[in-house]
């Protein structure tokens, strides 16, 4: 029934970012919620992150700006905070099984830059995909509907032929509007739920 699988990176292909960032905060002597505070609650930090996702500033520029908000050393800030982020083995197995079954697999990720820290290569997932659509390269990010259309175009598939997996509910409706079947990634059973949809051996 399905010929394509589109996967988010953080929280889907990778372990959640939160635990790694909180561990980094503890090592730096910062409050546990300092990372979220700088990226989400602080107006300048929130704007910097949005610019990074769209590729309008480099990761090094983001490191400097966000480090100033946090009061820490800027060198490889993103890499240091994400040092404990790993690929999810069940999702890696799912991608390999899907491709072996002839399913086109795409990575659709709102990026946070590639240098000096490349999250996709650091976790070993970059070479798993047939198609890669990264927001920083496109100049637009989820949930902008255009980035989903570009992904389908590069896969050579219609929306109704694809499944999309993301851990953020806000990113699902634009995919659904294109006829894509969506899966909200909520925990360890995500790979098995997707495998069932694709009629692949379950990965539990």
Cβ 175 vs Cβ 182: under 8 Å: yes
Q: Name residues of the chain where pLDDT drops below 50.
A: none
Quick one: pLDDT at residue 202? 61
Architecture of the CATH domain 4-16+85-198? 3-Layer(aba) Sandwich (3.40)
Tokens of 105: 């697999």
Q: Does the N-terminal peptide bond of residue 116 adopt cis geometry, omega within 30 degrees of 0?
A: yes
Q: Is 127 exposed, middle or buried (0-12, 13-18, 19+ CB in 10 A)?
A: exposed
pTM of the model: 0.95
Extents of the domains making up the chain: 4-16+85-198, 17-81
């Amino acid at each position: 029934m399905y010929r394509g699988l589109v996967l988010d990176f953080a929280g889907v292909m990778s372990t959640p970012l939160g635990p790694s960032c909180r561990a980094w905060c503890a090592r730096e002597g910062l409050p546990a919620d300092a990372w979220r505070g700088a990226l989400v609650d602080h107006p300048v930090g929130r704007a910097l992150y949005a610019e990074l996702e769209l590729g309008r500033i480099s990761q090094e520029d983001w490191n400097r700006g966000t480090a100033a908000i946090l009061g820490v050393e800027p060198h490889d800030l993103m890499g240091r905070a994400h040092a404990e982020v790993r690929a999810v083995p069940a999702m890696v197995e799912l991608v390999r099984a899907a491709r072996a079954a002839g399913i086109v697999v795409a990575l659709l990720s709102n990026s946070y830059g590639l240098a000096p820290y490349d999250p996709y290569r650091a976790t070993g997932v970059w070479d798993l995909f047939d198609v890669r659509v990264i927001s920083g390269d496109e100049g637009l990010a989820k949930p902008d509907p255009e980035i989903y259309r570009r992904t389908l175009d590069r896969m050579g598939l219609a929306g109704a032929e694809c499944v999309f997996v993301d851990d953020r509910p806000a990113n699902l409706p634009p995919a659904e509007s294109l006829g894509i079947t969506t899966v909200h990634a909520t925990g360890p059973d995500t790979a098995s739920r997707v495998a069932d949809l694709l009629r692949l051996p379950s990965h539990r």
